Structure 1
């Protein structure tokens, strides 16, 4: 309606007035709904309601609103920060839950690995003891066989072992009579060398 438009708006900017009307109406409509409802399926319904109400209000300017489209929903700063805080808390909760599950799985794997390690070490120790026992038995049998055939050699060998274990370290001090039985093989060696 050109006459009504010219009388009510004159040389003014009708776009600014219409934008204000649509802003006010959209705030009212979005205020009635949750963010999920506004962003999801109710969006088409909201645009229809806004078009109808904006057209009714714009009729006083002699203008008909044919369509209203929602490009984005800007929330007030306090609502946005509240939404972001909730979103952050939810993400932190999910992250903490995932970390807890990871830690639990890690502990389970470490426990299983420790169990297998302990079992392997026990089996290795058992096998080592068995092999050492077999070696000691073989050595003892051979010593017995040698001792039975040459007791003088065994006596000499044991004396060498005693010399090796008691003489030759810097910290040991032996005070012995040179005529003691400990040195009997030295005396025999001197006699043989003469």
Structure 2
């Protein structure tokens, strides 16, 4: 290869390198700045195809989408001096590219760390002005809204980012008091259970006493009715016997004597000592019963 050809190849390579370093693309989901010898010349590059001076201009790109920062759990105190462990996260994105680059150097980790510190400070102030019930109850949404509005203004002024939302993932009691709280809750539930059992036993006694009273009343009424029916039956039987006796007194006396004989001699081993002249043998001596 001749020197001319070699120099031409080098020139082509240099032109390609210069051309590649002169053109850059910024996507729709990206934010970018251009530096010239370390000095910021374009603080917010629009999306699209752009040209820069090779080797003099330097492009820095940032993620322009919504980002999430998980803050480490922090210990806060309520207005009642109750200690809570709060785990939160925040949603944010770059709004002022120039300010974002100047304050964080375009480092997302630095921005997330500073935002987390701001979230912890504001959250500490908000929790410190509320009771435990307000923090863990339905007023938590109100707390998060106020926190987001307050922090968004500060973060925009200091970091050039927009805070879209702040949420609490979990609120726990410290481990050293969780067991005591659990024991107190268990004792309260046990006390409530004893009260329910006591009331239930009292109601059971009332129901049982009422049932016993009703049973006694029913048995007394049934015995009264039975005795009344039995008395009426006995009266009817006595009247029937009397009427039958009046129709034929001799025959009725004979039947009664036969029944007495049958009952007296029902068992062969029975022994009875009676005077032969007794009225008991009247119908045995004479069928007419006259002797």
TM-score of the alignment, normalized to the shorter chain, above 0.5: yes
**Residue deviations 1:147-190, cap 9 Å, x none?**
4432463354255257437845xxx963334876597389559x
Say which structure, 1 or 2, has more relative contact order (CA 8 Å, 6+ apart). Answer: 1
Greater percentage in helix = 1
| 1:1-194 → structure 2 map (5 Å cutoff) | 1=99, 2-6=101-105, 10=107, 12-19=109-116, 21-23=118-120, 25-27=122-124, 29-30=126-127, 33-38=130-135, 39-41=137-139, 43-45=141-143, 47-49=145-147, 52=150, 62-64=159-161, 66-78=163-175, 80-81=178-179, 84-85=182-183, 87-148=185-246, 149-151=248-250, 153-154=252-253, 156-157=255-256, 160-161=259-260, 163-164=262-263, 167-168=266-267, 174-177=270-273, 184=281, 187=284
Retained in 1: the 8 A contact 2:134–2:140? Answer: yes
Following the alignment from structure 2 to structure 1, what is the Cα–Cα distance between the partners of residues 129 and 199? 40
**Residue deviations 1:32-81, cap 9 Å, x none?**
5333111243652465257636865x689735563552344421343555
Which of these two proteins has the greater Rg computed from alpha carbons?
2
Following the alignment from structure 1 to structure 2, what is the Cα–Cα distance between the partners of residues 66 and 120? 80
Greater percentage in strand = 2
Q: Structure 1 176/35 Cα, relative in aligned 2: closer, same or farther at 3 Å? A: same
**Aligned residue-pair number:** 184
TM-score by length of 1: 0.61
TM-score by length of 2: 0.45
After superposition, the CA RMSD in angstroms is: 4.5
The aligned residue for residue 72 of structure 2 is none
Q: Which moved more, 1:74-83 or 1:125-134?
A: 74-83
